Amino acid sequence: MTVPSAKLRDLVEVQDAELVGLARAGSEPAFREIMRRHNRRLYRVARGVVGDGAEAEDVVQEAYLRAFSNLAQFRGDAALSTWLTRIALNEALGRKRRQRATVELSEIEAPGRTGNVVMFPMSSGPQDPEAAAAQAQMRRMLERAVDELPESFRLVFVMREVEEMSVEETAAYLELRPETVRTRLHRARRLLRKSLDERLSAALSDAFSFDGARCARMADAVMARLAAGPSDEARVPESRNDI
C-alpha cells in the first residue's frame, strides 16, 4: 500500500490514531515519529525497573519491536502511550523476574528521616562550561541514588516524580491500589533523601579546599612579602589604641 506523500509532510501534527494507520501501511517516518513521541516515557519507565541505562535502552528497543510487530492488535481503546508503556513495562518486569525474585517490602523497610527530596535545579538556559559540568555531576549523583532504590519503590518514584504520572495512572499501570502507590512513593522519598544526605555529607568534607597549587601560591606570596620587609600595613597593633 502506498502512503500519500501529503500525509508525511509534517507528522508532528498528526494524531496518534492516524500515525498508527500510517505505520501499518509501512511508513518509516510514521514509525520514527511514534518513537520520537514516546521514547522518553518508555525509557524512564524501563530505567525505573531495571536500574541501568544501557539495559533500559535495550528494553525500549525490544518493546518497540514487539509493538510494531503487533500493530494490528492496537484498536485505540486506550491511548497509544498507554499501550506502549504497558509493553515496555512488561518487558522490563519480565527481565527482572528472570534475574532475581522481587524484593519484599518488609525486608527493605527502614527508619529514616521524612521530608522532600533534594532536587537540583536544571536550567535550560545558556551556561558556562564549569556550571554545566557541575550540573551534570549533580544529575549523575541524583540518578545513581534513584537507581539504588529498591525496585518496587524506584519504579513508583520514576513514574510519579520523574514522568509525573498521576497516582491513579501509576496504580493502573502497576495494578496496585492508589494507597499502595502513595505509600511506596513516601518510602522512596525517604530512602532517597537519606541517600542524598549521605552523599552530600561526604562531599561537604572536601568542600572549600585550600591545598595544592592554591596553598603553595599563598605561601609563596606570604614569604615574598616577609622577604620584602615589614610595612605599616603589615605591622601588628601593640595595643588597642593602635587599632
Specify if 73 maps to a domain.
Answer: yes
Amino acid letter, residue 81: S
Specify if 15 maps to a domain.
Answer: yes
Are 45 and 158 in contact by the 8 Å Cβ rule? The answer is yes
- Find cell 481503546 and name the residue: 77
Cell digits for 32? Answer: 520514527
Q: pLDDT tens across 76-87, in order?
A: 888 899 999 999
For residue 89, give the CATH number of its domain. 1.10.1740.10
Q: pLDDT tens across 89-104, in order?
A: 989 888 877 765 444 4
Specify if 155 maps to a domain.
Answer: no
What mean pLDDT do residues 109-138 have?
Answer: 52
Cell digits for 229? Answer: 620587609
Give CA torsion, residues 69, 71, 72, 73, to 10 deg: 100
Q: Does pTM top 0.85 for this prediction?
A: no
> Looking at residue 112, what is its pLDDT?
41
* pLDDT confidence tier of residue 231, bands split at 50, 70 and 90: low
> Looking at residue 180, what is its pLDDT?
94
Residue-averaged pLDDT of the chain:
75
Specify if 44 maps to a domain.
Answer: yes
> Looking at residue 27, what is its pLDDT?
87
21 pLDDT exceeds 70? yes
Phi-psi region of 15 (alpha: psi -120 to 50; beta: other; left: phi over 0): beta
Specify if 170 maps to a domain.
Answer: no
Domain extent, residue 83, equals 5-102
What mean pLDDT do residues 10-38 have?
Answer: 88
Q: pLDDT tens across 30-39, in order?
A: 899 999 999 9
> Looking at residue 140, what is its pLDDT?
80
Are 22 and 55 in contact by the 8 Å Cβ rule? The answer is no
Specify if 54 maps to a domain.
Answer: yes
* pLDDT confidence tier of residue 53, bands split at 50, 70 and 90: confident
Specify if 80 maps to a domain.
Answer: yes
Q: Structurally, how many domains does the chain consist of?
A: 1
Specify if 150 maps to a domain.
Answer: no
